[in-house]
Amino acid sequence: MTDLPHAHPPHDAGGRFDGPVQREEHDAAHWEKEADAIRMLLSDGRRRLFTTDESRRVQEQLDAATYWAMPYYERWILAFSSLVVEKGLLPEATLLAEEARLRTEGLDRVEGEPAGAHHHDHDHDHDDHPYQADHDATEDTLSPLRLRGVAVRNLLLAKGVLTAAEIRAEIERMDARGPHNGAALVTRAWTDADFAARLAEDAVAAAAELGLDAAGTKLAALFNTPARHHLVVCTLCSCYPRSILGRPPAWYKSRAYRARAVRDPRGILAEFGTTLPPGTELRVHDSNAELRYLVVPARPAGTEGWDASRLANLVTRDSMIGVTLARSP
């Protein structure tokens, strides 16, 4: 397979690059969760200030070097800060003035112990936010885009577009989502053939049976079998069944994974320690803003008679993306 023409925008990574997948992970820092929450709230059904496509447009206009050098959530800050100015919600001069105020008052500094619960002491209206150690824990000054994110947040709170309680609730809502929800679907499908059929037919409705809200996007369940294995990627961005599995891992959003999952899927599996039996068909599914996928891994042999809680321990996030199999008993 040859590389795509250079005219393709930088986010269109499928098949374009090689390199190992860097699988190191860190818990999302508060500023990342907050950027996530603000973006979701501004585009929710009540506000509808912009669409996913508009958010992508801002990011896709970046040149390749800038796009790939910019941290994932900083790209989100770039998108929503640009769009609130573009749509006249916040004048650019007002945004620049707030950034200048933050710098003047020293609020562009990262203070305290990286892993501690330091709280900034200032009198404008927002929640305390401990700085959480992660990949940028050694930084002592907010990057320009992280500072812009703080400025946008402050101004949106002041205008009443968002409230601190809404941002906190959105963060908590996403924090509560995770692979345990997907594992509940998988184990129910393993033990209830009728439910498995309903999950295959309408995954959103099947999730609702277990009290899981997957509405808002189409969710498809992909069932692995001894003859067929499914692998999920998003070559254009980071589309992922967040409503079921929570936030995607860093490697899922990486250029290497997004490119090689369609170009060298068996090589990707090998990096995760997965070797399929000879003759197994491998299907790669490219997620998008409208359609997300959940892989239902094959039930391991030797688990007959196990209850749901015991089976759930065999189901991992990575097996529901398709880069690994379910754990062996």
pLDDT at position 111 is: 58
- Choice among 117-126, 132-141, 207-216, 288-297 with the minimum mean pLDDT: 117-126
Annotated catalytic residue, options 43, 82, 234, 254: 234
pLDDT at position 214 is: 85
Mean pLDDT computed over every residue of the chain: 89
Q: Alpha carbon 309 to chain centroid distance?
A: 26
**Cα distances (Å, whole numbers) of residue 17 to 72, 251, 262:** 18, 15, 11
pLDDT at position 212 is: 95
Annotated catalytic residue, options 43, 81, 239, 319: 239
Q: Is 287 a catalytic residue?
A: no
Average pLDDT over residues 96-100: 98
Q: Is 239 a catalytic residue?
A: yes
Tell me the percentage of the chain whose pLDDT exceeds 70.
89
Average pLDDT over residues 86-93: 97
pLDDT at position 56 is: 87
Q: Is 319 a catalytic residue?
A: no
Q: Is 43 a catalytic residue?
A: no
- The three-point CA angle 262-323-225 to 5° equals 95
Average pLDDT over residues 207-234: 94
Annotated catalytic residue, options 81, 237, 243, 287: 237
Which of the pair, 7 or 200, is modelled with greater confidence? Answer: 200
pLDDT digits (tens, 9 = 90+) for 28-48: 999 999 999 999 999 998 999
Q: Do 60 and 85 contact (CB within 8 A), yes or no?
A: no
Annotated catalytic residue, options 43, 238, 243, 287: 238
Global pTM reads 0.84
**9-18, 96-105, 214-223, 232-241: which is most confident:** 96-105
pLDDT digits (tens, 9 = 90+) for 174-205: 999 999 999 999 999 999 999 999 999 999 99
pLDDT digits (tens, 9 = 90+) for 113-164: 343 333 333 333 333 333 334 445 567 899 999 999 999 999 999 999 999 9
Q: Do 140 and 278 contact (CB within 8 A), yes or no?
A: no
pLDDT beyond 80 at 10: no
Res. 68 pLDDT band, cuts 50 70 90: confident
Rounded (10°) angle between helices 179-191 and 193-201 = 120
Q: Which is nearest to 75 in space by CA: 10, 165, 168, 24?
A: 10
pLDDT at position 140 is: 85
Q: Do 38 and 175 contact (CB within 8 A), yes or no?
A: no
